[in-house]
Structure 1
Amino acid sequence: MVWLAVGLVLLASIILAVSKITALGRPNPVKDDEDPANMLEGVPTLFIPGYFGNRFSFGRLLNRMTKRYGAHKSMVVKVDRHGNIHVSGTLSKSKALIQILFAKKASRPQEQAVWLSQILDLLQTRYGIRKVNLVGYSMGCITIFWFLTHQSQSGLVAVKHVVAIAGPFNDSEIARSTNEVDAYPLSPKGPVKRMPIYRALAKRIFEIPKDIKVLNIAGRISNLQQDDGEVSVNSAFSLRYLLREPVAQYHELVIRGKRASHRLLHENAIVDASIAKFIWNL
């Protein structure tokens, strides 16, 4: 009987753990949803993961935003391997959070930008959405800015706020780790050495709307290590030189310490609070 009891407890623990993991990729039921008094709260925010991203990429962050800042993870949008879009949940009226998941894990920013454009078209057609905020992590930041420079002009949805977390804007390889972290020095005119992705964005940066607001977050593990273990502060803040003219507001934030590592930046309470303050003015 003792072994049976132990087995049942273990089974229950496994079921609970699997349920929690599964829930990271599902919308949460909307509770206490009201029309927002603050117009900022009525604009949904989309979260785009990095290379090989999954439900863990933003799942826990979205749950924390729900608990601490009254947001609603009310919708999950999945893009299957054939580019078909599947929506679960429905949009809350205030502080709606939308998790984006790509089944094709190795897809590149150029392909993801097309899907992002299609997602926004769907949100506009089906839900009447006219404005959104975008939050990207790692390669997801490149997806966002590739969309802004190559896809957004043909759409009817305006992007109001962008949060870039550990964006490899001047990395030689934006989807894989290199032996050394790219950290090309920054001059008054920009990076002294400009990688292909930087040059590609620079060619079409004039397409970005001038009223957009950008928060650029980078990690720095220590004074001796000026990067997050994957992306350097210099690479992330190369975006500064691309956006010097086109945008209304541009802000930078450096997260420091062990919890500023690349894989922990989206599990950092300072990042959570910074997103809430920047997007909803909390």
Structure 2
Amino acid sequence: MKKKWLIGLSSILGLLLVTIVLFHTYEQKNSHTATDEVSSANTEKAHFKATPTIYLHGYGAGVHSTAGMIAYAERHNGAHKVLTAKISPAGKVELQGNWPRKTKRPLIQVILQDNKNSNYYTTREWFYNLILCLKQKYHIKQYNTVAHSMGNIMTLSYQLKYGQERDLPRLKKQVNLGAPFNGIIGLDEKPNHNYLLKNGKPKYMTQSYQYFLAHRHNFPNNVSVLNIFGNKENGTNSDDDVSCVSAQSLRYLLRGKVNYHEIEIKGAAGQHSKLHDNYKVDQIIGRFLWPK
């Protein structure tokens, strides 16, 4: 009887020992697996520390609108186009291309398939989808923008809604080209009708500009902003489509929040569509985004 009891006890102790060994092995394995996963995730994130610059075209435009600026940046500024982001009329983002993890100055070209949608309540959500997509796939922390014409309204309205969201990548530098912040000639403005008051406030404000002004507090702080506008010097004080006053209205809108610079391009080179195909403008943008 005593022998049977000892055999039973030995069996129980043996089973317990095996269980302990197996449990310890399982814990070690899981611990290593978890560590490997974290390490892998950190490595993935570490490879995308570079700040991408996002190029956006204007109303009715497309790939050719920003292609010249991107080509200049690749030739002269050590930058590289890594992605094309196509955004559908429903706001779906399709990323095409390859982003090598060690690219120092990655460039992203945005193509809007519905390129005549001027409703900034809609287009700002498209930009939100893009930023969210880049965050989830490439773990970006910040970004720059270079926008022409209506592309500026798309990005501005995004910032005025999401610019202070802490869980989203932050705007670092913003370049505006021919931006109709306070009206477009022929639509809601006439040449030489509007002017800036002594404090920089525009005398007349469009409904859109009033909306922007009411939400200016949402624009992120400490952003470097370069505002480039054209003046053909043909008596209209405009680039044919956007008046100098309309473009310069950005200064009052962002007063006290950003590091602001503006540059006027005079003569024929200051025509609205020529602003994005201008060697001098390309040089200015390069020095602003990637100073030596």
Question: Which residue does 1:277 correspond to in 2?
Answer: 287
Task: Give distance in 2, aligned partners of 1:185 and 1:82.
Answer: 38
Distance 1:182 1:86, change over 3 A: farther
Whether the aligned pair in 1 keeps the contact of 2:77 and 2:290 (CA below 8 Å) is no
Whether the aligned pair in 1 keeps the contact of 2:178 and 2:247 (CA below 8 Å) is yes
Question: Which residue does 1:207 correspond to in 2?
Answer: 218
Question: Which residue does 1:89 correspond to in 2?
Answer: 97
Q: Does 1:140 align with 2:151?
A: yes
Q: Does 1:151 align with 2:162?
A: yes
Deviates further, 79-88 or 124-133: 79-88
Task: Give distance in 2, aligned partners of 1:65 and 1:181.
Answer: 34
Q: Does 1:188 align with 2:188?
A: no
Distance 1:85 1:56, change over 3 A: same
Task: Give distance in 2, aligned partners of 1:47 and 1:182.
Answer: 30
Whether the aligned pair in 2 keeps the contact of 1:109 and 1:140 (CA below 8 Å) is no
Whether the aligned pair in 1 keeps the contact of 2:191 and 2:236 (CA below 8 Å) is no
Distance 1:67 1:202, change over 3 A: same
- Residue 188 of structure 1 deviates from its aligned partner by 2.0
Question: Which residue does 2:24 correspond to in 1?
Answer: none
Aligned-residue Cα RMSD (Å) equals 1.9
Structure number with the higher helix fraction is 2
Task: Give distance in 2, aligned partners of 1:133 and 1:81.
Answer: 24
Q: Does 1:56 align with 2:67?
A: no
Q: Does 1:240 align with 2:248?
A: no
Deviates further, 221-230 or 57-66: 221-230
- Residue 178 of structure 1 deviates from its aligned partner by 6.6
Using structure 1 for the length normalisation, give the TM-score. 0.80
Query: What are the ranges of 5 or more consecutive residues in structure 1 without an aligned counterpart?
Result: 1-40
Whether the aligned pair in 1 keeps the contact of 2:66 and 2:276 (CA below 8 Å) is yes
Q: Residues 168-187 of structure 1 correspond to what in structure 2 (within 5 A)?
A: 168-171=180-183, 180-181=190-191, 183-187=193-197
Tell me the number of residue pairs that the alignment of Structure 1 and Structure 2 aligns. Answer: 239
Question: Which residue does 2:14 correspond to in 1?
Answer: none
Deviates further, 259-268 or 143-152: 143-152
- Residue 52 of structure 1 deviates from its aligned partner by 1.4
Identity among equivalent pairs (%): 29
- Residue 62 of structure 1 deviates from its aligned partner by 1.0
Distance 1:136 1:91, change over 3 A: same
Structure with higher Rg: it is 2
Structure 1 residue ranges, 4+ long, deviating more than 6 angstroms after superposition: none
Using structure 2 for the length normalisation, give the TM-score. 0.77
Q: Does 1:216 align with 2:224?
A: no
